[in-house]
Chain A
Amino acid sequence: MTLTRLDEPSCRKVLAKLDSYIDNELLAESNLEILEHFRACPSCTGEAQQRRNVRTRLQTAVRDVKLPAGLEDRVRQRLRQSQPPKTTRFHLMAIAATLTVCVASWAAYHFASPRLATMNTVLQVGLNDHLHCAVIRQTANRPKLPTNKLAAEWHELVPVVERHVPGDLPFSLAHECQYRGRKFIHLTFRNDNSLLSLVIARKQDGESLAAANLLPALSHSGIPLYAAGSQQFQIAAFEEPQYLVFTISDLPAAKNLDLLIAMAPVVRKFLDKFGA
């Protein structure tokens, strides 16, 4: 091995470009410079050859891995169960869909809501309550009310959830509210900049996140978690046999989801009492 040779300035220059050279990513004139150098420098020529050799061995080793038996079929099966993508071939349908979205967006803005047109209806259950209760009603100047207006059996939920909310987002209100004939358990945390709701809704008419053709954002402790965002709010959700649980906030999507990840096991444990 001739290490000294590699320390020469011309060698250093070539070595700095060697990776790009063997990937054929250099301009023609740089290639020529390197080829010129190779003619006089067996050490750099050898180094280039070694790097190609490592690349070839790596290719062989990685490419030798074969697809597990049945995986291709499993992927196809899952795709068949999923909704087909929107096709761009039917222009009239595309125009009609665009018009629908425009009208729905206008309506959404008109009624002071974020765009709901594309959000799944099960996820909207949580968002609607958050909007109706925490955003629209509580932004009005109202006299201070007792913060915890929950029925006694829900009281323990507040400290359990609060433990997982950052200290700069203090607990604001816990109550049972009603929107469009459905009752919600609603905890809010807020500061001057942000608003977070934990909303628990009892399921109606076979509602299910799993059956709603949504893709779980991830699965934590065996609990699939779903996420969606509108223009102003981020929603994360999971479900129990009887309940839908949401975090809705104006925090970044990842933060909103992280909060639900942190709360999911304890909220599930709490709800298990009612399921029994």
Chain B
Amino acid sequence: MSSWAGGSAPPFLQAAAPVQDDRSPEQRFEAEAMPHLNDLFRTALRMTGERGQAEDILQEVYLQAWRSFDRFSAGTNCRAWLYKILFHCVSHHRRRWFRFPLLKEKEEFLEANLVQPPSVHDQVTDGEILNALDAIPVEFRSVVLLVDVEEFAYKDVAAILAIPIGTVMSRLSRGRGLLRKQLAEVARSYGIGKSAQKDNRL
């Protein structure tokens, strides 16, 4: 049904050297997979926008991870492996139940970089930042989350989302540009970034 657990493993899933491990699978799973629950939940929440769905997906991710734990090589990046399963589950659910308009990806993403918006003012709340993020189309949002929040290297993001590294870079640039635009809108609504006279009125 899927390619995340079978076929040829991406480099970050391949074992560097066999690791001698006397722990039971339960103990290994507890030590290697369970600590990432919190990180996966916050990503699932941002990708679905709904706590119930995020919880369902998280349950599914851990169940699938547990069932194919024999295919995960000890000593490799368990967190990246779990994220790969997470994005597989997210896209599976999304394909089934939603029809999100996918933005056509443009190679010339420079335009997004040419307008310099005001920096994120302290007045902009965390909630508004999350709203701005949630407004970005999913394919850009996923890359921004993985790079900016979860701090994965580009090559790991490419493996997690099964896209070329060039696409990771263009989506990241575009996603960040869109986020900055959204935040600039919020800032403008506060009157930040307009003329200084406005501030003088206060």
Which B residues are CB-close (under 8 A) to A53?
Answer: 119-120
Considering only residues 146-199 of chain B, those with a C-beta below 8 Å from chain A are 147-149, 153-154, 169, 172-173, 176, 179-180, 183
Q: Is A110 an interface residue (CB 8 A)?
A: no
Say yes or no: A51-B176 contact (C-beta < 8 A), given A18-B113, A23-B154: yes
Q: Is B58 an interface residue (CB 8 A)?
A: yes
Minimal beta-carbon separation of A48 from chain B (angstroms):
11
A84–B69 CA distance with the chains assembled, in angstroms: 9
Q: Is B31 an interface residue (CB 8 A)?
A: no
Residue among A15, A57, A61, A83 making CB contact with B113, cutoff 8 Å: A15
Q: Are B120 and A72 in contact (CB under 8 A)?
A: no
Q: Is B105 an interface residue (CB 8 A)?
A: no
Q: Are B70 and A86 in contact (CB under 8 A)?
A: yes
Flag the segment in A62-70, A101-109, A136-144 that touches B.
A62-70
Flag the segment in A73-81, A147-155, A161-169, A200-208 that touches B.
A73-81
Which A residues are CB-close (under 8 A) to B66?
Answer: 79, 82, 84-85
A16–B107 CA distance with the chains assembled, in angstroms: 12
Q: Are B67 and A83 in contact (CB under 8 A)?
A: yes
Q: Which residue of A lies closest to B168 (CB)?
A: A25
Q: Which residue of A lies closest to B109 (CB)?
A: A16
Say yes or no: A71-B58 contact (C-beta < 8 A), given A3-B116, A61-B126, A88-B70: yes
A2–B41 CA distance with the chains assembled, in angstroms: 41
Which A residues are CB-close (under 8 A) to B70?
Answer: 85-88
Q: Are B55 and A54 in contact (CB under 8 A)?
A: no
A234–B104 CA distance with the chains assembled, in angstroms: 32
Minimal beta-carbon separation of A234 from chain B (angstroms):
9
Minimal beta-carbon separation of B68 from chain A (angstroms):
7
Minimal beta-carbon separation of B54 from chain A (angstroms):
9
Say yes or no: A16-B110 contact (C-beta < 8 A), given A47-B116, A71-B55, A87-B25: yes
A61–B124 CA distance with the chains assembled, in angstroms: 11
Considering only residues 158-203 of chain A, those with a C-beta below 8 Å from chain B are none
Say yes or no: A6-B116 contact (C-beta < 8 A), given A20-B169, A61-B130, A79-B62: yes
The tally of residues in B whose CB lies under 8 Å from a CB in A reads: 57
Q: Which residue of B lies closest to A71 (CB)?
A: B55
Which A residues are CB-close (under 8 A) to B32?
Answer: none
Q: Is B79 an interface residue (CB 8 A)?
A: no
Which A residues are CB-close (under 8 A) to B37?
Answer: 67, 71-72, 75
Q: Which residue of B lies closest to A77 (CB)?
A: B59
Q: Are B149 and A63 in contact (CB under 8 A)?
A: yes
Q: Are B41 and A25 in contact (CB under 8 A)?
A: no
Minimal beta-carbon separation of A248 from chain B (angstroms):
15
A217–B38 CA distance with the chains assembled, in angstroms: 24
Residue among B69, B149, B172 making CB contact with A85, cutoff 8 Å: B69
Q: Are B176 and A19 in contact (CB under 8 A)?
A: yes
Q: Is A126 an interface residue (CB 8 A)?
A: no
Considering only residues 42-58 of chain B, those with a C-beta below 8 Å from chain A are 42, 45-46, 51, 55, 58
A84–B63 CA distance with the chains assembled, in angstroms: 10
Minimal beta-carbon separation of B129 from chain A (angstroms):
4
Minimal beta-carbon separation of B168 from chain A (angstroms):
10
Which B residues are CB-close (under 8 A) to A78?
Answer: 59, 62-63
Instruction: Apart from A78-B63, A79-B62, list 15 A-B contacts with CB within 8 A.
Output: A50-B116, A50-B117, A55-B148, A61-B126, A63-B42, A71-B58, A75-B37, A75-B58, A82-B66, A85-B25, A85-B66, A215-B63, A215-B64, A215-B67, A217-B92
4 A-B pairs closest in CB distance: A61-B126, A85-B69, A50-B119, A61-B129
Binding site for B on A (CB under 8 A): 1-3, 6-7, 12, 15-16, 18-20, 23, 25, 43, 46-47, 49-51, 53-55, 57-68, 71-72, 74-76, 78-79, 82-88, 215, 217-218, 220, 227-229, 253-254, 261
Binding site for A on B (CB under 8 A): 1, 25-26, 29, 34, 37-38, 41-42, 45-46, 51, 55, 58-60, 62-64, 66-70, 92-93, 95-96, 110, 113-120, 124, 126-127, 129-130, 133, 144-145, 147-149, 153-154, 169, 172-173, 176, 179-180, 183
